Structure 1
Amino acid sequence: MKKRILRSNITQGSLEEHIPDLIRLARDRSSAYVCMVNVHMLIEAYNSQEFQQVVNDATYAFPDGAPVAKMFKRVYGIQQERIAGMDFFPYFLEVCNKNSFKVALIGSTDDILDKICQKINQELPQVEISCAISPPFGQPWDNEAYIRAINESGTNAVFVALGCPKQEKWMNQFTDQIKAPLFGVGGAFPVYVGEIKRAPAWMQNTGLEWLYRLLQEPRRMFKRYFYTNSYFIFLATKQILTKK
């Protein structure tokens, strides 16, 4: 079941509740894609009808950001947990390990992908990495080759880390051609191998993880957070007051 937050349909329920179906999708190698929706993605979808459709067409659109999860309570009176991409990636890798699944990685740099592969090989020996792809920057991508590599290797789950909105658009465009569920995990790859430090738990739980990222990369993140956070507060307040 999904609930409308601003203009996006966000999946309700705990991760534990949805895990059996995610395992089924992976085992059956079903075409599907999963978005992890934070405030930035909500605003991107609010401003673009095309991208709104991309988010709303997702098999699952989990509430990644704490502010998104809290909107369930404020608008619908429903207690909703946060399902963050950075938490989901290592968690579902454990699931893949228990089920001896093959996984593919798309995004980030060759160096980060090598480190992820090393870590998985050491800590999750039942996971087979079918392919690890770092698409070239500023050049056309060979999507046909990527899709062929994923399908012919018998991949069960594809983790896509291209950043919003690129990864969601890519998943939406190619989901019908890929025989495996796609999981958009954003910036989870470098965090998984310790290249980027994640915010303390108290900042994650209070919805201040964005502030931690801003302090890490003030030049790159200031404009995005100043605009998206301010606009989200305005739109969220409007929705809460009208309860629509």
Structure 2
Amino acid sequence: MKRNVLGVLVDATTYDEAVRAVTDAARQRRPFALTALAVHGVMTGVRDHQHAARLNSFDLVTPDGQPVRWALNALHHAGLTDRVSGPTLTLRVLQAAANEGLPVYLYGSTEQTLDRLVLNLQNTLPTLKIAGREASKFRTAHPGEDREIANRIIASGARIVLVGLGCPRQETFVHAMRPVLPMPLLAIGAAFDFHAGILRRPPQWIRRHGLEWLWRLAAEPGRLWRRYLILNPLYLLLLAAQKTRLRRLLPPPPSIQRPAEYPA
């Protein structure tokens, strides 16, 4: 069930429910858009109402970071005992896909990352069918390119598409492609890097206490300091305002037109 967190609608859901929703859509060959949002993802919607409208049109938005789970519990009494993080959800979806024979398509990141990712997946999930892969072009898509991408994915026989373009590029891509692909698309952030072995996940106790941001900041300070040292305190301030009703938050419209430009 969707709940308002600073104007972004996040689902109070679990890993099992999210995996079931994805595999159901894959078996039924129907469009389905999912993203896993941590604080940075929520704040992109706070700062850009058009992007918030994209997020609010998704079928499922999972609470990736512990602070987002805490917000659902504090604001809406969701009673969630765990978050639903992109990397872990990715692995669980891939395990389910391997068990059910549902081919997957990997879109985004670099060729080098995809090489390592595919090798690791072949070793850990030998029955997984990887229908295709396509690295990010790191540019805006050309007119008509959405159909070309869609045709390649459909021709591959894929039933699930994993999209690793980084926030908010991946959500913009998923929103644009959902109407032309009869299958679930999952925006899963840095999951490709984690499962390729390029980034190392922190110990479980750090994740459990909501300190993964500090781990990532230490690993990539030059790239991430603005995200964590500015957006995190602002997120907490706005949550306090929503909790005390000092700020009235209404979600943006539930959907918007497909963007004319989006990342490829």
**TM-score normalised by the chain length of structure 1:** 0.95
Displacement of 1:150 in angstroms is 0.8
Offset from partner CA, 1:99-127 (integer Å, 9 cap, x none): 01110001111011111212222332322
Displacement of 1:16 in angstroms is 1.3
Offset from partner CA, 1:204-238 (integer Å, 9 cap, x none): 11111011111011111111212211110110111
Residues paired across the two proteins, number? 244
CA distance in 2, matches of 1:169, 1:193: 24
Give the stretch that moved more between structures: 67-76 or 20-29.
Answer: 20-29
2:211 pairs, out of 208, 220, 230, with 208
Displacement of 1:21 in angstroms is 2.6
Query: Structure 1 residues 18 and 190 mapped into 2: Cα distance closer, same or farther (>3 Å)?
Result: closer
Give the stretch that moved more between structures: 136-145 or 147-156.
Answer: 136-145
8 A Cα contact 1:106 1:159, kept in partner? yes
Alignment of structure 1 residues 62-77 onto 2, 5 Å = 62-77=62-77
8 A Cα contact 2:22 2:32, kept in partner? no
8 A Cα contact 2:147 2:180, kept in partner? no
Give the stretch that moved more between structures: 111-120 or 174-183.
Answer: 111-120
Give the stretch that moved more between structures: 136-145 or 44-53.
Answer: 136-145
Structure 2 unaligned residues grouped into runs of 5+: 249-264
Alignment of structure 1 residues 2-151 onto 2, 5 Å = 2-80=2-80, 81-138=82-139, 140=141, 142-151=145-154
CA distance in 1, matches of 2:170, 2:17: 25
Structure 1 unaligned residues grouped into runs of 5+: none
Query: Structure 1 residues 61 and 31 mapped into 2: Cα distance closer, same or farther (>3 Å)?
Result: same
Displacement of 1:32 in angstroms is 1.2
What fraction of aligned residue pairs are identical, expressed as a percent? 26
**Matched residue, 2:241:** 238
8 A Cα contact 1:161 1:188, kept in partner? yes
Higher relative contact order (CA 8 A, sep 6+): 2
RMSD of aligned C-alpha atoms? 1.6
**Matched residue, 1:196:** 199
Displacement of 1:140 in angstroms is 4.5
CA distance in 1, matches of 2:243, 2:160: 37
**TM-score normalised by the chain length of structure 2:** 0.88
